[in-house]
Amino acid sequence: MLEFSHKPVMLEECMQGLSLKDGGVWFDGTIGGGGHSYEILSRTSPNGKLIATDLDDEAIAAASKRLQPFANRFSIYKSNYKDFESVFNQAGVDKIDGALLDFGISSHQIDDEDRGFTYRQADAPLDMRMNQSAYLTAEMVVNTYLEEDLARIIKTYGEETFAKQIARNIVKYRETKSLKTAGELSEIIKNSIPAKFRFGAPCERKTFQALRIEVNGELDGLYDLVLKLTRRLKKGGRIAILTFHSLEDRIVKEAFKYMESPCTCPGNFPVCVCGKKPEVKIITKKPITATDEELKDNSRSKCAKLRIAEKI
Protein backbone atom coordinates (compact mmCIF):
# COMPACT_ATOMS: atom_id res chain seq x y z
CA MET A 1 0.00 0.00 0.00
CA LEU A 2 1.31 3.44 -0.93
CA GLU A 3 1.84 6.06 1.74
CA PHE A 4 -0.99 8.56 1.42
CA SER A 5 0.19 11.77 -0.23
CA HIS A 6 -1.66 14.62 -1.87
CA LYS A 7 -0.51 18.13 -2.71
CA PRO A 8 -3.34 20.61 -2.08
CA VAL A 9 -4.28 22.70 -5.09
CA MET A 10 -4.29 26.52 -4.88
CA LEU A 11 -3.55 26.35 -1.17
CA GLU A 12 -2.85 30.04 -0.64
CA GLU A 13 -5.73 31.14 -2.86
CA CYS A 14 -8.13 28.95 -0.85
CA MET A 15 -6.87 30.28 2.48
CA GLN A 16 -7.08 33.90 1.33
CA GLY A 17 -10.50 33.23 -0.13
CA LEU A 18 -11.83 31.90 3.17
CA SER A 19 -10.72 35.11 4.92
CA LEU A 20 -9.52 33.10 7.93
CA LYS A 21 -9.43 34.61 11.38
CA ASP A 22 -8.60 33.50 14.92
CA GLY A 23 -11.18 31.16 16.39
CA GLY A 24 -14.40 30.18 14.64
CA VAL A 25 -15.75 26.90 13.30
CA TRP A 26 -14.64 25.76 9.86
CA PHE A 27 -15.71 22.91 7.60
CA ASP A 28 -13.52 20.95 5.17
CA GLY A 29 -15.86 18.65 3.30
CA THR A 30 -13.15 16.74 1.42
CA ILE A 31 -10.20 16.51 3.78
CA GLY A 32 -8.02 14.23 1.62
CA GLY A 33 -4.52 14.19 3.10
CA GLY A 34 -5.29 17.18 5.30
CA GLY A 35 -3.25 19.82 3.46
CA HIS A 36 -5.96 22.48 3.37
CA SER A 37 -7.17 21.56 6.85
CA TYR A 38 -3.68 21.91 8.30
CA GLU A 39 -3.50 25.48 7.05
CA ILE A 40 -7.00 26.30 8.27
CA LEU A 41 -6.10 25.14 11.78
CA SER A 42 -2.73 26.90 11.64
CA ARG A 43 -4.28 30.21 10.66
CA THR A 44 -7.19 30.07 13.11
CA SER A 45 -5.02 29.32 16.15
CA PRO A 46 -5.34 29.07 19.03
CA ASN A 47 -9.09 28.53 19.26
CA GLY A 48 -10.33 27.71 15.77
CA LYS A 49 -12.23 24.43 15.41
CA LEU A 50 -12.41 22.23 12.30
CA ILE A 51 -15.08 19.76 11.25
CA ALA A 52 -14.09 17.58 8.31
CA THR A 53 -15.48 14.70 6.28
CA ASP A 54 -14.16 12.16 3.82
CA LEU A 55 -15.20 8.74 2.53
CA ASP A 56 -11.70 7.35 2.08
CA ASP A 57 -10.38 5.45 5.12
CA GLU A 58 -6.78 5.96 4.02
CA ALA A 59 -7.33 9.72 3.66
CA ILE A 60 -8.91 9.94 7.09
CA ALA A 61 -6.02 8.05 8.68
CA ALA A 62 -3.43 10.21 6.92
CA ALA A 63 -5.21 13.46 7.78
CA SER A 64 -5.68 12.44 11.42
CA LYS A 65 -1.95 11.85 11.70
CA ARG A 66 -1.06 15.08 9.95
CA LEU A 67 -3.36 17.16 12.15
CA GLN A 68 -2.08 15.79 15.46
CA PRO A 69 -0.37 19.10 16.35
CA PHE A 70 -3.93 20.48 16.62
CA ALA A 71 -5.35 17.70 18.81
CA ASN A 72 -8.73 18.55 20.38
CA ARG A 73 -9.36 21.22 17.76
CA PHE A 74 -10.61 18.99 14.93
CA SER A 75 -13.06 16.17 14.29
CA ILE A 76 -13.08 14.00 11.18
CA TYR A 77 -16.17 12.01 10.19
CA LYS A 78 -16.35 9.22 7.66
CA SER A 79 -19.19 10.71 5.69
CA ASN A 80 -20.09 12.24 2.36
CA TYR A 81 -19.87 16.02 2.51
CA LYS A 82 -23.41 16.04 1.11
CA ASP A 83 -24.53 14.67 4.49
CA PHE A 84 -23.01 17.64 6.32
CA GLU A 85 -26.27 18.36 8.16
CA SER A 86 -26.05 15.04 9.99
CA VAL A 87 -22.37 15.66 10.72
CA PHE A 88 -23.10 19.14 12.07
CA ASN A 89 -25.77 17.68 14.32
CA GLN A 90 -23.30 15.12 15.67
CA ALA A 91 -20.76 17.87 16.26
CA GLY A 92 -23.32 20.12 17.94
CA VAL A 93 -22.80 22.88 15.36
CA ASP A 94 -25.39 25.13 13.76
CA LYS A 95 -23.60 27.91 11.89
CA ILE A 96 -20.01 27.91 10.63
CA ASP A 97 -17.47 30.61 9.78
CA GLY A 98 -16.30 29.10 6.51
CA ALA A 99 -16.44 26.03 4.30
CA LEU A 100 -14.06 24.48 1.79
CA LEU A 101 -14.89 21.82 -0.77
CA ASP A 102 -12.17 20.33 -2.98
CA PHE A 103 -13.71 18.04 -5.60
CA GLY A 104 -10.37 16.83 -6.96
CA ILE A 105 -9.30 13.21 -6.78
CA SER A 106 -6.19 12.83 -4.63
CA SER A 107 -2.76 11.99 -5.99
CA HIS A 108 -2.73 8.94 -3.76
CA GLN A 109 -5.95 7.57 -5.23
CA ILE A 110 -4.60 8.03 -8.74
CA ASP A 111 -1.22 6.50 -7.98
CA ASP A 112 -2.48 3.51 -5.97
CA GLU A 113 -2.93 0.75 -8.55
CA ASP A 114 -5.42 -1.08 -6.36
CA ARG A 115 -7.89 1.80 -6.60
CA GLY A 116 -8.28 1.65 -10.39
CA PHE A 117 -8.81 5.37 -10.99
CA THR A 118 -6.27 5.78 -13.77
CA TYR A 119 -5.89 4.46 -17.29
CA ARG A 120 -2.09 4.65 -16.93
CA GLN A 121 -1.86 1.37 -14.99
CA ALA A 122 -2.98 -1.44 -17.28
CA ASP A 123 -3.32 -4.11 -14.59
CA ALA A 124 -5.34 -1.93 -12.21
CA PRO A 125 -8.79 -3.31 -11.36
CA LEU A 126 -11.81 -1.30 -12.45
CA ASP A 127 -12.77 -0.11 -8.98
CA MET A 128 -12.85 3.72 -8.70
CA ARG A 129 -14.70 3.84 -5.36
CA MET A 130 -13.84 6.77 -3.08
CA ASN A 131 -15.50 4.82 -0.30
CA GLN A 132 -14.12 1.31 -0.56
CA SER A 133 -16.97 -0.13 1.46
CA ALA A 134 -19.48 1.13 -1.13
CA TYR A 135 -21.22 -1.41 -3.37
CA LEU A 136 -20.94 -0.03 -6.91
CA THR A 137 -17.63 -0.32 -8.79
CA ALA A 138 -16.56 0.69 -12.28
CA GLU A 139 -16.28 -2.99 -13.17
CA MET A 140 -19.96 -3.44 -12.38
CA VAL A 141 -20.88 -0.41 -14.46
CA VAL A 142 -19.06 -1.49 -17.62
CA ASN A 143 -20.20 -5.12 -17.32
CA THR A 144 -23.88 -4.67 -16.39
CA TYR A 145 -25.20 -1.32 -17.62
CA LEU A 146 -27.24 -1.22 -20.81
CA GLU A 147 -25.50 0.18 -23.87
CA GLU A 148 -27.70 3.27 -23.95
CA ASP A 149 -26.98 3.98 -20.28
CA LEU A 150 -23.24 3.61 -20.79
CA ALA A 151 -23.40 5.99 -23.75
CA ARG A 152 -25.40 8.52 -21.73
CA ILE A 153 -22.96 8.43 -18.82
CA ILE A 154 -19.87 8.72 -21.02
CA LYS A 155 -21.44 11.53 -23.05
CA THR A 156 -22.85 13.48 -20.10
CA TYR A 157 -20.17 13.04 -17.45
CA GLY A 158 -17.19 12.72 -19.77
CA GLU A 159 -18.36 15.07 -22.51
CA GLU A 160 -17.03 12.47 -24.91
CA THR A 161 -17.88 12.91 -28.60
CA PHE A 162 -17.51 9.20 -29.35
CA ALA A 163 -19.59 7.97 -26.40
CA LYS A 164 -21.90 5.81 -28.53
CA GLN A 165 -19.02 4.02 -30.24
CA ILE A 166 -17.26 3.40 -26.92
CA ALA A 167 -20.44 2.06 -25.30
CA ARG A 168 -21.15 -0.17 -28.30
CA ASN A 169 -17.66 -1.66 -28.21
CA ILE A 170 -17.77 -2.21 -24.44
CA VAL A 171 -20.97 -4.22 -24.85
CA LYS A 172 -19.52 -6.15 -27.80
CA TYR A 173 -16.37 -6.99 -25.79
CA ARG A 174 -18.26 -8.26 -22.76
CA GLU A 175 -20.29 -10.68 -24.87
CA THR A 176 -17.31 -13.02 -24.70
CA LYS A 177 -15.34 -11.75 -21.71
CA SER A 178 -15.97 -9.54 -18.70
CA LEU A 179 -13.90 -6.38 -18.40
CA LYS A 180 -11.60 -6.60 -15.39
CA THR A 181 -8.74 -4.14 -15.83
CA ALA A 182 -8.04 -0.55 -16.77
CA GLY A 183 -5.87 -1.80 -19.63
CA GLU A 184 -8.72 -3.73 -21.23
CA LEU A 185 -11.00 -0.71 -21.05
CA SER A 186 -8.29 1.59 -22.39
CA GLU A 187 -7.84 -0.57 -25.47
CA ILE A 188 -11.58 -0.54 -26.15
CA ILE A 189 -11.65 3.25 -25.87
CA LYS A 190 -8.64 3.74 -28.16
CA ASN A 191 -10.12 1.41 -30.76
CA SER A 192 -13.42 3.31 -30.63
CA ILE A 193 -11.93 6.71 -31.44
CA PRO A 194 -10.68 7.51 -34.96
CA ALA A 195 -6.89 7.86 -35.10
CA LYS A 196 -6.98 11.53 -36.10
CA PHE A 197 -8.76 12.36 -32.82
CA ARG A 198 -6.31 10.56 -30.52
CA PHE A 199 -3.77 13.36 -30.35
CA GLY A 200 -3.41 15.76 -27.44
CA ALA A 201 -4.84 14.63 -24.09
CA PRO A 202 -5.07 10.84 -23.58
CA CYS A 203 -8.26 9.70 -25.24
CA GLU A 204 -9.20 7.49 -22.25
CA ARG A 205 -9.39 10.40 -19.81
CA LYS A 206 -12.98 11.43 -20.50
CA THR A 207 -14.44 7.94 -20.21
CA PHE A 208 -12.53 7.17 -17.00
CA GLN A 209 -13.74 10.47 -15.57
CA ALA A 210 -17.33 9.63 -16.49
CA LEU A 211 -17.15 6.22 -14.82
CA ARG A 212 -15.65 7.70 -11.65
CA ILE A 213 -18.44 10.26 -11.44
CA GLU A 214 -21.08 7.56 -11.91
CA VAL A 215 -19.54 5.19 -9.35
CA ASN A 216 -19.30 7.88 -6.68
CA GLY A 217 -22.46 9.83 -7.54
CA GLU A 218 -20.35 12.98 -7.58
CA LEU A 219 -22.88 15.27 -9.28
CA ASP A 220 -25.98 13.92 -7.53
CA GLY A 221 -27.53 16.67 -5.44
CA LEU A 222 -24.53 18.95 -5.88
CA TYR A 223 -26.58 22.08 -6.65
CA ASP A 224 -28.74 21.65 -3.55
CA LEU A 225 -25.64 20.89 -1.46
CA VAL A 226 -24.06 24.23 -2.42
CA LEU A 227 -27.26 26.09 -1.50
CA LYS A 228 -27.76 24.34 1.83
CA LEU A 229 -24.13 24.49 2.96
CA THR A 230 -23.81 28.16 2.04
CA ARG A 231 -26.92 28.91 4.10
CA ARG A 232 -25.20 27.47 7.17
CA LEU A 233 -22.54 30.19 7.04
CA LYS A 234 -22.57 33.00 9.55
CA LYS A 235 -22.95 36.50 8.14
CA GLY A 236 -19.64 37.36 6.51
CA GLY A 237 -18.63 33.70 6.33
CA ARG A 238 -17.23 32.38 3.08
CA ILE A 239 -17.44 29.19 1.06
CA ALA A 240 -14.61 28.24 -1.32
CA ILE A 241 -15.14 25.45 -3.85
CA LEU A 242 -12.47 23.86 -6.05
CA THR A 243 -13.79 22.07 -9.13
CA PHE A 244 -11.89 20.07 -11.73
CA HIS A 245 -14.21 19.72 -14.70
CA SER A 246 -16.77 21.88 -16.42
CA LEU A 247 -19.87 20.08 -15.15
CA GLU A 248 -18.98 20.69 -11.51
CA ASP A 249 -17.92 24.27 -12.18
CA ARG A 250 -21.16 25.03 -14.02
CA ILE A 251 -23.26 23.73 -11.13
CA VAL A 252 -21.34 25.78 -8.55
CA LYS A 253 -21.49 28.89 -10.74
CA GLU A 254 -25.25 28.57 -11.20
CA ALA A 255 -25.88 27.93 -7.49
CA PHE A 256 -23.86 31.00 -6.49
CA LYS A 257 -25.59 33.09 -9.15
CA TYR A 258 -29.02 32.05 -7.88
CA MET A 259 -28.09 32.92 -4.31
CA GLU A 260 -26.73 36.32 -5.34
CA SER A 261 -29.79 37.19 -7.41
CA PRO A 262 -32.61 39.28 -6.01
CA CYS A 263 -36.08 38.95 -7.53
CA THR A 264 -36.63 35.91 -9.78
CA CYS A 265 -40.03 36.99 -11.11
CA PRO A 266 -40.54 37.02 -14.89
CA GLY A 267 -39.53 40.30 -16.50
CA ASN A 268 -43.11 41.16 -17.50
CA PHE A 269 -44.32 41.21 -13.86
CA PRO A 270 -45.06 44.83 -12.82
CA VAL A 271 -44.01 44.18 -9.20
CA CYS A 272 -42.06 41.50 -7.37
CA VAL A 273 -44.19 38.72 -5.90
CA CYS A 274 -41.44 36.22 -5.05
CA GLY A 275 -39.85 38.25 -2.27
CA LYS A 276 -36.42 36.77 -2.95
CA LYS A 277 -33.45 38.63 -1.47
CA PRO A 278 -29.74 38.20 -2.27
CA GLU A 279 -28.11 35.71 0.11
CA VAL A 280 -24.46 35.98 -0.93
CA LYS A 281 -21.95 38.23 -2.58
CA ILE A 282 -19.89 36.41 -5.19
CA ILE A 283 -16.22 37.17 -4.55
CA THR A 284 -14.94 35.56 -7.75
CA LYS A 285 -16.81 36.94 -10.75
CA LYS A 286 -14.50 34.72 -12.78
CA PRO A 287 -13.00 31.56 -11.29
CA ILE A 288 -9.45 31.65 -9.96
CA THR A 289 -7.04 29.29 -11.71
CA ALA A 290 -3.60 28.02 -10.78
CA THR A 291 -0.56 30.21 -11.35
CA ASP A 292 2.11 29.28 -13.88
CA GLU A 293 4.41 28.47 -10.98
CA GLU A 294 1.95 26.01 -9.47
CA LEU A 295 1.24 24.43 -12.84
CA LYS A 296 4.96 23.66 -13.18
CA ASP A 297 5.06 22.17 -9.68
CA ASN A 298 1.71 20.36 -9.69
CA SER A 299 0.31 19.32 -13.07
CA ARG A 300 -2.93 18.17 -11.45
CA SER A 301 -3.85 21.80 -10.81
CA LYS A 302 -4.27 22.37 -14.55
CA CYS A 303 -8.04 21.96 -14.67
CA ALA A 304 -8.79 23.45 -11.24
CA LYS A 305 -11.16 26.39 -10.83
CA LEU A 306 -11.83 28.13 -7.53
CA ARG A 307 -15.08 29.98 -6.84
CA ILE A 308 -15.79 31.87 -3.61
CA ALA A 309 -18.95 33.42 -2.19
CA GLU A 310 -19.63 35.37 1.02
CA LYS A 311 -22.82 35.15 3.09
CA ILE A 312 -24.58 38.48 3.55
Confidence (pLDDT) at 200: 64
Confidence band (pLDDT; 50, 70, 90) for 123?
confident
Please give the single-letter amino acid code of residue 164.
Answer: K
Same domain, 273 and 206: no
Same domain, 159 and 233: no
CATH code of residue 80: 3.40.50.150
Confidence (pLDDT) at 272: 83
> Which has the higher per-residue pLDDT, 82 or 113?
82
Residue 209, domain extent: 114-216
Average pLDDT of span 65-94: 96
Please give the distance of CA 291 from its chain centroid, rounded to a whole number. Answer: 20
Same domain, 140 and 281: no
Q: Is the pLDDT of residue 125 over 50?
A: yes
Average pLDDT of span 66-80: 96
* Residues contacting residue 76 through CB under 8 Å, at least 6 positions apart: 31, 52, 53, 54, 60, 63, 64, 67
16-29, pLDDT tens digit by residue?
Answer: 999 999 999 999 99
Same domain, 211 and 225: no
Q: Are 114 and 129 in contact (CB under 8 A)?
A: no
Q: Is the pLDDT of residue 47 over 90?
A: yes
Read off the pTM.
0.88
Residue 202, domain member (yes or no): yes
Q: Which of 171, 174, 175, 130 is nearest to 150 (CA)?
A: 171
Same domain, 227 and 210: no
Residue 109, domain member (yes or no): no
Q: Is the pLDDT of residue 195 over 80?
A: yes
Same domain, 209 and 273: no
**Domain final position from 190, 216, 242:** 216
* Exposed e or buried b per residue across 138-152, where buried means at least 16 C-beta atoms within 10 angstroms of its C-beta: bbebbbebeeeebbb
Q: Pairing between strand 305-311 and 280-282?
A: antiparallel
Q: Is the pLDDT of residue 131 over 90?
A: no
Same domain, 78 and 95: yes
Q: Is the pLDDT of residue 312 over 60?
A: yes
Same domain, 205 and 267: no
Q: How many domains does the chain have?
A: 2
Same domain, 16 and 76: yes
Residue 293, domain member (yes or no): yes
**Domain final position from 181, 216, 251:** 216
Q: Is the pLDDT of residue 244 over 50?
A: yes
Confidence (pLDDT) at 111: 57
Q: Are 241 and 305 in contact (CB under 8 A)?
A: no
Q: In what order do the strands lie in the sheet with 280-282?
A: 74-78, 49-54, 25-28, 96-102, 233-243, 305-311, 280-282
Q: Are 176 and 141 in contact (CB under 8 A)?
A: no
Q: Is the pLDDT of residue 217 over 90?
A: yes
Q: Pairing between strand 233-243 and 305-311?
A: antiparallel
Same domain, 224 and 168: no
Average pLDDT of span 110-116: 59
158-190, pLDDT tens digit by residue?
Answer: 999 999 999 999 999 999 999 999 999 999 999
Q: Is the pLDDT of residue 115 over 80?
A: no
Distance CA 172, CA 273 (A): 56
Residue 2, domain member (yes or no): no
CATH code of residue 169: 1.10.150.170
Distance CA 63, CA 33 (A): 5
Confidence (pLDDT) at 119: 64
Same domain, 228 and 198: no
Please give the single-letter amino acid code of residue 275.
Answer: G
Residue 5, domain member (yes or no): no
Confidence (pLDDT) at 237: 98
Q: Is the pLDDT of residue 1 over 50?
A: no
Residue 108, domain member (yes or no): no
Q: Is the pLDDT of residue 68 over 90?
A: yes
**Domain final position from 166, 200, 216:** 216
Residue 254, domain member (yes or no): yes
> Which has the higher per-residue pLDDT, 215 or 197?
215
Identify the DSSP state of 139: H
Confidence band (pLDDT; 50, 70, 90) for 114?
low
Confidence (pLDDT) at 266: 83
Same domain, 128 and 89: no
**227-230 CB contacts, 8 Å cutoff, 24+ apart:** 227/255, 227/258, 227/259, 228/84, 228/85, 229/27, 229/29, 229/81, 229/84, 229/99, 229/101, 230/99, 230/255, 230/256, 230/259, 230/279, 230/280, 230/309, 230/311
247-286, pLDDT tens digit by residue?
Answer: 999 999 999 999 999 888 887 888 888 888 999 999 999 9
228 conformational bin, left if phi > 0, alpha if psi -120 to 50, beta if neither: alpha
Q: Is the pLDDT of residue 5 over 60?
A: no
Q: Is the pLDDT of residue 232 over 80?
A: yes
Residue 67, domain member (yes or no): yes
Q: Is the pLDDT of residue 207 over 50?
A: yes
